[in-house]
Amino acid sequence: MATMAGKRDYYEVLGVARTAGQKEIADSYRRLALRFHPDANPGDENATEKFKEAAEAYEVLGDAEKRARYDQYGFAGVEGGAQHFTEVEDIFEAFGDMFSGGMFGDLFGGRRRGRRARRGADVRVDVTLELEEAARGVKKTVEFTRSLRCEKCSGTGSRPNSRPETCRRCGGRGQVVQSAGILRVQTSCPACQGAGSVITDPCDACRGHGYVSTRARVDVAIPAGIDDGMRVRLSGEGEPSPDGGPPGDCYCFVSVKAHRLFERDGRHLVVRLPITYSQAALGATVEVPTLNGKQELRVPAGTQPGEVFQLRGRGMPDPRGGAQGDLLVQTFIEVPKRLSPKQDELLRELAELEHADVTPQRKNFLTMLRDYFVPSSEEQDRAEK
């Protein structure tokens, strides 16, 4: 399962096994919320962070669909779908003011908070780029499905000229108090989902939802130098709020295709350049491919296979505004599979010269090779005895 730096596994946060049922998960979350509630730990920033961490874990594991994605893909599976709580107030809103009454109200001084409109859900879309597009930056048009307010009922969910009825279960308050042993919490009414009213004559266009699914087309500017796995946020292009709040965001996750010539290493590019034996031995000026065309590179005499040359500023831009990366040229000796008669003649003559005039390095290797296979005098004496 994929992990994310600085974040703990959600099951570890709630202290439950991966096989835990929904009731066990909910009970564990309530215990942690009670323990780290800000009113019970005034001025304790560590407790507040644990309170937020537990809420985020429960927001994913308490939802069957999000939990399934998290179990399969880890944090990547719920990226953009999990709500990251930055304010304690957001937690009270997300879970229906469950801390404003009952046992929490008794223990923490009956704290009351006004309900704020909830933010819409985020959506995810994937974008695939060529390396050249990632290098220069590009504008892409992405398509995804999101909801829009139903025009026929103006988002009310009720048929025109009809009105929702007051919820009988909560009396229009949108909240109910539920008990679990000694724990009493106030949660959103399950009958009306916290709305305080029930649609009895639903709109035939949206079937009472107030929203209809539609296909959206949005232009996104991809910055130059973006890397595989990075994302671009389109503010306000996500799902609408269910109760008049701000819409969510659209997150464009970028993947960059493998290139036939270049390998990427952060801001740097790597290219493997074949050179001949004569070029490596005698030196040569060769043409090197770059993202901006060809560039000449001086290969000095005596270049060894695998040697790397650096072309500064010929790599990838930094999407955060840093220095341009470099192009790293790694040479390797290309051995021809077929030789012309003249090449064959010259190479055989060279081989004879190398055999007659052995370099010190090769003589040393041949000496070690001879000593390895020829036993020493001591070894011979032991063998004769």
Indicate if 268 and 252 belong to the same structural domain: no
Cβ neighbour number for residue 11 with a 10 Å cutoff: 19
Indicate if 134 and 229 belong to the same structural domain: yes
Residue 339 lies in a domain: no
Residue 176 lies in a domain: no
Model pLDDT, residue 260: 93
CA distance 385 to 376: 15
CATH of the domain at 206: 2.60.260.20
Indicate if 25 and 58 belong to the same structural domain: yes
| Final residue before a domain boundary, out of 33, 64, 85 | 85
Indicate if 74 and 159 belong to the same structural domain: no
Residue 320 lies in a domain: yes
Indicate if 247 and 286 belong to the same structural domain: no
Residue 180 lies in a domain: no
Indicate if 204 and 248 belong to the same structural domain: yes
Q: What is the pLDDT along the chain (385 residues), one digit of tens a residue?
A: 545 556 789 999 999 999 999 889 988 988 888 888 877 777 788 888 888 888 888 888 988 888 988 888 787 777 655 555 555 555 555 454 444 444 444 444 344 444 556 788 899 999 999 999 999 999 999 999 998 888 888 888 888 888 888 888 888 888 887 665 555 667 778 888 777 888 888 998 888 888 888 999 999 999 999 999 899 999 999 998 877 788 999 999 999 999 999 999 999 999 999 998 889 989 999 999 999 989 999 999 999 999 999 999 999 999 888 889 999 999 999 888 888 898 888 878 887 776 655 455 555 666 766 666 666 556 566 656 5
CA distance 310 to 339: 32
For 278, the token pair is 């004569």
Indicate if 269 and 316 belong to the same structural domain: yes
SS3 379: helix
pTM: 0.56
The answer to whether residues 254 and 222 touch, using CB atoms and an 8 Å cutoff, is: yes
Indicate if 241 and 270 belong to the same structural domain: no
Residue 92 lies in a domain: no
Polymer length of the chain: 385
| Final residue before a domain boundary, out of 211, 231, 257 | 257
Residue 80 lies in a domain: yes
Model pLDDT, residue 74: 83
Task: Name the one residue in this structure whose structure tokens are 């790397």.
Answer: 308
Indicate if 14 and 74 belong to the same structural domain: yes
**Structural domain count of the chain:** 4
Indicate if 20 and 61 belong to the same structural domain: yes
CATH of the domain at 41: 1.10.287.110
Indicate if 129 and 158 belong to the same structural domain: yes
Model pLDDT, residue 96: 44
CA distance 78 to 81: 5
Indicate if 140 and 217 belong to the same structural domain: yes
Domain around 18: 1-85
- The secondary structure element, H or E, covering residue 180 is strand 175-180
For 62, the token pair is 């308490």
Angle at 98 between CA 94 and CA 103, to 5 degrees: 160
